[in-house]
Amino acid sequence: MNEVLVFDISSFLAHFKNPATIASPCTYPFPPATSVVGIVGAICGYKKESKDFHNECLQKINSADFIVAVQLLNPVRVFTSGYTWMNTKDLSSTESVIFRHQKCASPTVIQKLIYPHYRIYFAHENQEVFNELRGHLEQGTSVYTPCLGKACCVANINYVGCKELRPIKIGSKVKINTAIDKNLVKIDYDKRHHYDIGSMASRMNIDRSVKTYITYCVEVNTHPINTTVAEEGVYECEDNIICTI
């Protein structure tokens, strides 16, 4: 892969649930690769019918190797607030809204990101998938509404362009502008910076079971991270150095 599609995505709020937090869900600071796959699927219009949506999306994306990298354009800022979810699946259509609320209200405290703004880098060996996404980005269209984690976090997308992708040699010392897979680099931490480190899903099977996990690292105030490349997966894209996740 020597070309990568670059686009910016932003919203007022975002939530990318960390599955290690259950009762009061916390959010990852940026969309995992699995979320980016969902965003690509929404833009391209892969089937949205309940269970088939994810299956078709993953079938398309998993048809060949692909690259995902995510750069923070705004510092990470979070807040927590209470939400009340209402389960309407098992209720009669004749029941009033007030009765439904009293019967099925489920208060939950959720952590959300404020004014999230990211630059997404996406490359795919399957030219059909690559060109389909490129066409939608160039025309400013999407089949389904893209969002940042939750359906209420409707996203704005701005296409940056199709850029050349050049691999960085192992052993090179570089400043990486994106979130990092710690398995691919050795990090030279700066005490003046604030890092967020954790584990997240990176790739999924067609049945939506997790295929690969990574340990990620990101500088929450958008500063580049000093690293030494240890494995393949770090690339130069114009003036930026990106790392696959």
Q: Per residue, what are the HEC states of 86-116?
A: ECCCCCCCCCCHHHHHHHHEEEEEEEEEECC
Q: Which residue has the tokens 């984690």?
A: 149
CATH for 3-243 (3.30.70.2660, 3.90.1300.10, 3.90.550.10, 3.40.190.10): 3.30.70.2660
Q: What is the pTM of this model?
A: 0.90
- Chunk the chain into consecutive blocks of 10 residues (it has 245) and report each block's average pLDDT, rounded to whole numbers: 95 94 91 94 78 68 89 96 71 55 70 97 94 96 94 94 96 97 96 96 88 96 97 95 96
Q: How many CA atoms lie within 13 A of 110 on its CB side?
A: 18
pLDDT of residue 60: 85
pLDDT of residue 103: 58
Rounded Cα distance, 200 and 159, in Å: 26
| Strands annotated E in the chain | 3-10, 13-14, 66-72, 78-86, 105-114, 117-124, 156-164, 166-167, 173-176, 180-181, 185-187, 195-204, 210-219, 225-229, 234-237, 240-243
Nearest Cα residue to 136 out of 44, 9, 39, 8? 44
DSSP 17: B
Nearest Cα residue to 111 out of 140, 151, 89, 81? 81
Q: Which residue has the tokens 């790739």?
A: 203
pLDDT of residue 71: 98
Residue 178, Cβ density class (10 Å: 0-12 exposed, 13-18 middle, ≥19 buried): buried
pLDDT of residue 111: 94
**Which structure tokens are listed for 158?**
């701005």
pLDDT of residue 97: 55
Nearest Cα residue to 179 out of 131, 120, 219, 141? 219
